[in-house]
């Protein structure tokens, strides 16, 4: 017998992420994460002009042009949030959008970019643990295998067939700690985003993440004693301003709109594997735009990551 749509069991099924995933959430998360790959081209260049915290603050200041009108329009959604959900938004904005991005940007100043990228991609481990505790997510039977394959692909993208300690020196120690801190915060942000998306639209959540991070980021810039007047003066250079706008829009606004749209229709555990599209795409763009050498191992890793994401996408369609 067909389940009545408004029975208790029917309503519970409508709430399940498996039912929602038929909209291709995994693919949208992967596409949003792929746009983050442009960070390596844009962000490293900006470090010649600004500090890491100044870059993140200016990005969010530009994105307030989108965020402020959106939150005014969606103020009723904000009024319905509980204290727990407000705490999740603060973690997203201050931790994920603010502090994690500062740590990730600063890590490029200390160590080898490949080391930074590999350590940041241990994020799925933290996501799975936090999602299991906070969201009570159960993992599908084959999920562990796909996660392992995707992590192997990430390793190959970063190091190829070399050993990790071949690039790890004492000079990279600070970079490792910064990148690992970013991984923990971004992992928690994935789970917090999935929690809040049950109560608000993905457009509103994206706006809240950007706007509520601004006071925290400005405080970091001021307290750290950075040269604020010089920061404003540097924006007078059109090339610098154009680079900053592109960075705010492409790996910032557009990527997060796609990402949260996808996250609203899939579980945090699936989403964190799809996020591994980030290092894969970053490798490809570095090869095309910066002329970096693409080894056979990295090329294989690129294909392995996208194969794992493809299998996850097929799996979610079958479960829907």
With CA atoms as reference, report the closest residue to 99 among 180, 213, 222.
Answer: 213
Inside any domain, residue 18: no
User: Please, are residues 320 and 19 in contact by the beta-carbon 8 Å criterion?
Assistant: yes
Is 20 domain-assigned?
Answer: no
- Is 175 within the bounds of a domain? yes
In-domain check, residue 109? yes
For each of the chain's 320 residues, which pLDDT tens digit applies?
444 433 343 334 334 444 444 448 888 999 998 888 777 677 777 888 888 898 999 999 999 999 999 999 999 999 999 999 999 999 999 999 999 988 888 887 776 666 666 666 667 777 877 887 888 877 767 777 888 887 888 778 767 787 765 555 555 667 777 887 888 898 899 999 999 998 899 999 999 999 999 999 999 998 887 667 778 888 888 888 888 999 899 888 999 999 999 998 888 888 888 887 877 777 677 677 666 666 788 778 878 877 887 777 665 555 55
Domain membership of residue 22 (yes or no) is no
Q: Quick check: is 239 in a domain?
A: yes
- Decide if 86 is inside a domain: yes
**DSSP symbols for 183-232:** HHHHHHHHHHHHHHTTTS-HHHHHHHHHHTTHHHHHHHHHHTT--HHHHH
- pTM of the predicted structure, to 2 decimals: 0.76
> How many separate domains does the chain show?
1
Residues of the domain holding 73: 29-319
In a domain, residue 273? The reply is yes
């Amino acid at each position: 017998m067909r389940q009545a749509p408004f029975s208790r069991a029917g309503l519970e099924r409508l709430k399940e992420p498996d039912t929602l995933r038929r909209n291709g959430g995994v693919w949208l998360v992967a596409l949003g994460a792929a746009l983050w790959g442009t960070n390596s081209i844009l962000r490293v260049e900006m470090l010649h002009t600004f500090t890491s915290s100044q870059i993140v603050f200016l990005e969010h200041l530009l994105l307030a042009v989108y965020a402020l009108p959106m939150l005014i329009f969606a103020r009723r959604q904000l009024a319905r949030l509980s204290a727990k959900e407000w705490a999740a938004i603060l973690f997203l904005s201050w931790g994920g959008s603010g502090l994690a991005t500062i740590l990730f940007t600063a890590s490029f100043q200390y160590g080898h970019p490949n080391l930074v990228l590999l350590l940041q991609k241990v994020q799925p481990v933290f996501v799975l643990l936090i999602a299991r505790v906070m969201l009570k997510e159960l993992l599908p039977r084959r999920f562990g295998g796909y996660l392992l394959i995707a992590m192997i692909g990430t390793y190959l993208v970063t190091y190829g067939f070399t050993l990790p300690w071949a690039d790890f020196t004492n000079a990279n120690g600070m970079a490792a700690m910064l990148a690992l801190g970013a991984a923990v915060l971004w992992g928690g942000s994935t789970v917090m985003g999935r929690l809040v998306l049950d109560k608000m639209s993905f457009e509103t959540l994206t706006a809240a993440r950007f706007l509520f991070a601004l006071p925290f980021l400005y405080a970091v810039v001021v307290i750290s004693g950075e040269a604020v007047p010089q920061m404003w003066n540097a924006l007078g250079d059109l090339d610098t301003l154009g680079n900053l706008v592109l960075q705010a829009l492409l790996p910032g606004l557009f990527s997060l709109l796609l990402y949260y749209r996808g996250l609203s229709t899939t579980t945090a555990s699936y989403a964190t594997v799809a996020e591994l599209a980030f290092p894969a795409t970053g490798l490809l763009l570095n090869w095309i735009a910066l002329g970096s050498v693409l080894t056979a191992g990295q090329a294989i890793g690129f294909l392995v990551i996208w194969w794992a994401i493809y299998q996850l996408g097929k799996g979610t369609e079958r479960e829907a």
